[in-house]
Amino acid sequence: MEVAEKERTPGLSLGEEKNMVTQLLLVNITVFILLYFIKIIFFMEGYQEQHFVRDIMTNTMVSASPGTLLAKPWTLLTAMFAHLDFWDIFSNMVWLFVFGTILQQRAGYKQIPVVYVLGSFAGYATYMAAVNLLPGVFPPVTAGSGIMGAHAGVMALAAGITFLSPGLRVFPQLWRGGVPVWIFFGIFLVVHIASVSMGDGSMTNLAYMAGGAIAGAVIALALRNGSRFGDRSFDLFYNITHIFDPKKKLGRKAEESATFPEPPSRNTPLPYVKVGQVPEHRINEILDKINDQGMESLSPEDREILIRASRDEE
């Protein structure tokens, strides 16, 4: 199985369209750099910190005030990618890579942006509810205040893989047999709770992340029950964004034929090589299936073929 594991592990490739973890990393880092340079320009022009917050950040982060949010609905999208502190984005991107990569391998690449976005939306809801309903615990809404960052989206990915495969072991190089994924989830929680306790974080971030955890757990339980809601949502959004490019639209029949091509006839020379006793095209079909729908989509026959191919390769 080791050979198959190496082949199917997605790399951090900037040109890999189906590696949605890479795409999310790039978007977050790009937005961080953009905000950083805008801030520098403001200071070079003689403006103060409050001017930058008033003109840029209030139009980027999600406000706890429902009225402000209704007036600036685009912040629902911009806030989930916005960071200003280097260590803040560094921490979030490390955890995004860890949990996102594992979830992508288990559930398929289409689930990643759906879990991230829905987790962020759920985080906005819990943040607004906490601030408006528990004023004694959370700071009151003031001008220029709001929430932003990948915290809720990353929390959704973390909760998603933990609830989807609680017994999963990863990173065998760190520990014999691998480290249970729930241990990484526990470390992730402890780090963020400790940062708030030591004054380096905000209680509002915990409320924000709570929504992400709830969304990730609900989506994971739906996946375990056979739901592919994330796939349909991804396909719908992709087709909407490619409405003027019909050739690139996703279709179930087209996608299946592209992913699982018909094998050559027995009467013609075989234009492929074999991995042991298994044709290479069959291995590629299974690896494509893993990338599209995750390990959980494999049938017992698919798993047996991968095991057989690995043994033959050895």
> What are the DSSP calls for 245-278, one per residue?
-GGG---HHHHHHHHSPPPPPTTS---S-EETTE
Of how many residues is the chain composed?
314
Write the pLDDT tens digit of every residue in 252-298. 444 443 333 444 444 444 444 444 566 666 666 666 666 565 665 66
Phi, psi of 185 (to 5 degrees): -65, -40
279 forms beta bridges with 274
Give the distance from CA 114 to its chain's centroid.
8
Contacts of 197 (CB under 8 A, 6+ apart): none
Contact 155, 212 (CB under 8 A): yes
Give the model's pLDDT for residue 170: 82
Write down the pTM of the prediction.
Answer: 0.75
Question: In this structure, are strands 179-180 and 274-275 parallel, antiparallel, or unpaired?
Answer: unpaired
Give the model's pLDDT for residue 311: 57
CB atoms within 10 A of CB 104: 25
Contact 183, 169 (CB under 8 A): no
Contact 168, 183 (CB under 8 A): no
Question: What DSSP element (H or E) covers 179?
Answer: strand 179-180
Residues of the chain with pLDDT under 70: 1-17, 140-144, 198-201, 241-242, 244-314
